[in-house]
A and B are shown apart, each in its own frame.
Chain A
Amino acid sequence: MNIESYNPLACEHCMKCMKACPMDALHYVNDLPLIRKDKCIDCGKCLHVCPNNGFTIVSSKLEFNKNYKYTCVLIPVSFYTQFSDTIQMRKMEHAFHVLGFDEVVDLSLYNSAIMNNAVPFIKKYKNNYLLSSHCPSITKMIYHKYPGLVPYLIPMEYPSELAARMKRKAIMEETGLKKEEIGIFLLCECAAKLDLAKYPNGNMEYEVDHAIAVNSISAILRKTMREVDGSAEEIELSKIGLLYDVKDGVQRMMEDYTIINVDSIDKATDVLELVEFERLQSSKYISMSACSNGCVGGGLLWTNPFENRIQLEEIYKDASDKVLDLSFEEVVRDIKPMDEQDLRKMKEKMDWFLRVKEIREKLPGFDCGACGFPNCLHMAEEIAKGHNQIEDCRIKAKKE
């Protein structure tokens, strides 16, 4: 979970955040929102819907690069769209050097390796349902809400992981440094990607060491950019790699096969429901991003998804045809099957279900949220667990 706490002084108890949460992960405790770690998918909806800056993003810090002998920062394609021209982009890269990074790595090249392998894979299995796996927020939602669809996720690596692995290896060979003396940092345009690193969240299985939220470094980066001349190396973004960050990128690489593209959690929910009922027949590859227009709509970026999209098309015109040529085996990600071990016996599950059902039927069914839970079903579960009482329903209390 990368969205944390809230500012108790700022919160006006409007409940917009709880109503917006697609996972029912937000509850009210003592009149303040509380995010449940086990349910949150880091979609950022609560954060963006709050009129009062109630939430904060958890991020690693730039200064942590001082703990390493050699450091890289990985820059996502979407971040390049924040700059009006190449001079500004070069200033940005230069600024990262000034801020202590030995290498500034553009992720478009690594994106291209993934794209180049994903497209033939999707075509090869076009008679099977396949789901994109690039958006960590959507992927988490599939694990939580649609566990039966986990096997359909395409097994492509995250570009940041690919880059981190390859970079670390190359640097070790070049410099003779030890693994842990090299620090790999990932700049993140959304809350979900902050998970793809060891820190801030302690996800030790990742190759990336630190994930940095774009919004957390805006001030220092802009200030440093004003002080540099942009004499960093030439910037050469990969065309195919750029497409990775827009919602219809994969479609643009397919001439004869129409795929389904969705770019919000709600639309992804709609389409995943249809997949569960096997109602999609004509096209079976579904590309899903939580953010508008794809990762260019990442919620932590400075400008809006539509501007970013247009800017990306501008960059695309001058981008290069270079591709990182890797084999499928080199870009494959091990998608862990869902652990569905539920040791309760059917009888126990039934008893629990019936108990909740009985309580739910006693509640008004307004789903108003005044009790602090997103809907009456939730409240019924809390009552069944013994955490609440039926009298805690505000509607019922008012009537009696």
Chain B
Amino acid sequence: MTLIDKYNVVADSFTTAGKISSKIKDILKQLGVPSDKLRKISVACYEAEINMIIHSDGGDISLFIDDENGMVYLHFDDVGPGIPDIEQAMVPGWSTASEKAREFGFGAGMGLVNIKRVSDNFDITSSSEGTHLKVGFQL
């Protein structure tokens, strides 16, 4: 498994929201990832990036490629309050988006559900120190 790149996400950086996802999308295009997969990875990445901006105190997004098994992995590691009840967070429509986030039109609460829906591999752990989300996609 090769780490392609690692990007820093700044909390509350709404004005540049989605920029990292765009970069990752460009890299995957360059890599020749088939377009149906590219869509799914992009959507998941965007949702998770927004989640980090809204809910965490910042963190990193890392892009890995496992060329032997034909997998793309995205790791989202943040510091911050964490998700107290993951099961509840997986219910469609549930959201704790802050007032500011709502103002920007984010926080419809589809985040985690959407990410799980489009990914082939989904693993999340969360504590009061932060959240670690690993998603994998079979190419």
Interface residues of A (CB under 8 A from B): 146-150, 273, 276-279, 338, 340, 342, 344, 346-347, 349-350, 353-354, 356-357
Which residues of B (18-42) have their CB < 8 Å from a CB of A? 18, 21-22, 25, 27, 30-32, 34-36, 38-39, 42
Contact of B31 among A146, A278, A340, A350 (CB under 8 A): A350
Query: CA separation between A126 and B36, bound complex, in Å?
Result: 21
Expressed in whole angstroms, the Cα–Cα distance for A356 and B43 within the complex equals 26
Contact A273 B22 (CB under 8 A): yes
Contact A350 B22 (CB under 8 A): no
- What chain B residues lie within 8 Å of A278 (beta carbons)? 39, 43, 46
Contact yes or no, A354 B2, CB < 8 A: yes
Docked complex Cα distance between A353 and B139 (Å) = 16
Residue numbers of B with Cβ under 8 A of A are 2, 4, 18, 21-22, 25, 27, 30-32, 34-36, 38-39, 42-43, 46, 65, 67-68, 70, 139
Q: How far is the CA of A342 from the CA of B35 in the complex (A)?
A: 12
Q: A344 vs B31: C-alpha distance in the bound complex, in angstroms?
A: 11
The answer to whether A344 touches B32 (Cβ under 8 A) is: yes
Cβ-closest chain A residue relative to B46: A277
Q: Is the CB of A276 within 8 A of B39?
A: yes
Q: How far is the CB of A380 from chain B (nearest CB, A)?
A: 11
Distance, CA A277 to CA B43, complexed state (A): 5
A365 to chain B, nearest CB (A): 14
The answer to whether B42 touches A347 (Cβ under 8 A) is no
> Interface majority SS on A: helix, strand, loop or mixed?
helix
How far apart are A71's CB and chain B's nearest CB, in angstroms?
A: 42
**Inter-chain contacts of B70 with A (CB < 8 A):** 346
B34 touches A277 (CB 8 A): no
Q: A346-B139, A347-B68, A350-B2 given as contacts; is B35 within 8 A of A277 (CB)?
A: no
**Which residues of B have CB within 8 Å of A277?**
18, 21, 25, 42-43, 46
Shortest C-beta distance, B108 to chain A (Å), equals 8
CA of A246 to CA of B65, assembled, Å: 45
In the complex, number of A-B residue pairs with CB atoms less than 8 Å apart: 50
CA A325 to CA B35, docked complex, whole Å: 37
Residue in A closest to B30 when the chains form the complex, CB atoms: A353
A148, B42: Cα distance in complex, Å: 11
Q: Show 18 A/B contacts (Cβ-Cβ < 8 Å), sorted by A.
A: A148-B36, A148-B38, A149-B35, A273-B22, A277-B42, A277-B46, A278-B43, A279-B18, A279-B46, A342-B32, A342-B34, A346-B67, A349-B32, A350-B2, A350-B31, A350-B67, A353-B4, A353-B27
A-B residue pairs, 3 tightest by C-beta: A148-B35, A350-B67, A277-B46
B82 shortest CB reach to chain A, Å? 26
- Across-interface contacts of B65 in A (CB, < 8 A): 346, 350
Closest to B49 in A: A277
Closest to A150 in B: B35
Distance between Cα atoms of A180 and B13 in the complex (Å): 63
Complex contacts, B30 vs chain A, CB 8 Å: 353, 356
| Across-interface contacts of B68 in A (CB, < 8 A) | 347
**A357, B36: Cα distance in complex, Å:** 24
Q: Which residues of A contact B35 (CB under 8 A)?
A: 146-150, 338, 340
4 more A-B contacts (CB under 8 A) besides A276-B39, A350-B31?
Answer: A346-B67, A347-B68, A349-B67, A357-B4
Asked whether A349 lies within 8 Å of B39 as measured between CB atoms, the reply is no
Residues of B within 8 A of A149 (CB): 35
In the bound assembly, the distance between CA atoms of A353 and B36 in angstroms comes to: 20
* A148 touching B2, Cβ below 8 Å: no
Nearest-neighbour CB distance to chain B for A139, whole angstroms, equals 16
A350 vs B66: C-alpha distance in the bound complex, in angstroms?
9
Complex CA gap A330/B22 in Å reads 40
Closest chain A residue to B72, Cβ basis:
A346
Alpha-carbon distance A354/B22, docked complex (angstroms): 19
Q: Is the CB of B67 within 8 A of A347?
A: yes
Residues of B within 8 A of A150 (CB): 35
CB distance from B38 to the nearest CB of A (A): 6
